[in-house]
Amino acid sequence: MTDAALAGRTVRSARSALRVWDPLVRVFHWSLVVLFASNVLITDPEKDLHHLIGYAVVALVAVRLVWGLIGSRHARFRDFPPSVSAALGQLGDIAKGRRRVHLGHTPLGALMIYNLLATMLLIGLTGWMMTTNAYWGVKWVEEMHEFFVTWAEICVAAHIAAVIWESRRTGVNLPRAMVTGVKMIEPRDLPQSGQPKSGKPTSGHASE
Q: Which residues bind ligand HEM (CB under 6 A)?
A: 25, 28-29, 32-33, 36-37, 39-40, 45, 50-51, 54-55, 57, 64, 105-106, 109, 113, 116-117, 120, 123-124, 127-128, 130-131, 142, 145-146, 149, 156, 159-160, 163, 174-175, 178
Which residue's CB is nearer to ligand HEM, number 111 or number 116? 116
SS3 for 182? strand
Give me the residues paired with residue 200 across strands.
Answer: 19
Taking the C-alpha atoms of residue 82 and residue 108, their distance in angstroms, rounded to an integer, is: 9
Which residue's CB is nearer to ligand HEM, number 3 or number 44? 44
Q: Which amino acid is at 74?
A: H
Give me the residues paired with residue 109 across strands.
Answer: none
Instruction: Of 202, 16, 15, 181, give the one whose Cα is nearest residue 104.
Output: 181
Which residue's CB is nearer to ligand HEM, number 8 or number 143? 143
Give how far the C-alpha of residue 169 lies from the chain's centroid of Cα atoms, to the nearest Å.
17
Provide, rounded to whole angstroms, the least separation between the CB of residue 124 and ligand HEM: 5
Which residue's CB is nearer to ligand HEM, number 2 or number 47? 47
